[in-house]
Amino acid sequence: YHTNQKIDLNILGGQLGMSNLPNGPSADGLSNLLNSYIGSNKYCYMQLPKNSTATSTLRNWTVDSINNNYPIILQTMTSSLPGYGGLNYNHYIVAKGYRFGTLGASSADIIVYNDPYKDSDTPNTYGVHEIDFSAMSSAITANTAGFVVKRTV
């Protein structure tokens, strides 16, 4: 994104430790690898607090990162995400935008994200989705780690 590099997914997967399934890569491994590709220390990882401040903290981190042109990586559990039909897996997604005060006919703050998972059994998981910040913070805090890889402030 920041360097216009095209990276072979097999190479990237090896660098991230994707063979370590079902746990997958660590949040510090993700932030370190991102930093190595962009040539700076612009990314760090933080654990989202598992309390009443989770939604506002996620909102603040998202706005800061996106407004500074840094998408953020969210470590979630899939049961709260669209398309998974209640299936509950440890899963990383990438937040790329947000909107305040609009979600259909209701008024809500939403986060826009890309889900890279594509499978014939769950065809509605892949692609761009929108969900309110409260539901996303629940998906993140449901994960025992619940990390966000975001822009360093």
Structure confidence by residue, pLDDT tens digits, 90-122? 888 999 999 987 555 555 789 999 998 888 878
Mean pLDDT for the stretch of residues 51-57: 91
Burial of residue 46 (number of CB atoms within 10 Å: 0-12, 13-18, 19+)? middle
Would you place residue 9 in the very low, low, confident or very high pLDDT band (cuts 50, 70, 90)? Answer: low
Q: What is the pLDDT of residues 13-38, one digit of tens each?
A: 777 766 655 556 777 778 888 888 88
pLDDT of residue 1: 53
pLDDT at residue 39, rounded to an integer: 85
Cα gap 61→73, rounded to integer Å: 11
**What is the pTM assigned to this prediction?**
0.84
Q: What pLDDT, on a 0 to 100 scale, did the predictor assign at position 104?
A: 55
Give the C-alpha separation, 78 to 57, whole Å.
20
Q: What is the pLDDT of residue 27?
A: 75
Q: Which residues contact 63 (CB under 8 A, 6 or more apart)?
A: 98
Confidence band (pLDDT; 50, 70, 90) for 80? confident
Q: Do residues 71 and 94 lie in contact, with contact meaning Cβ atoms separated by under 8 Å?
A: yes
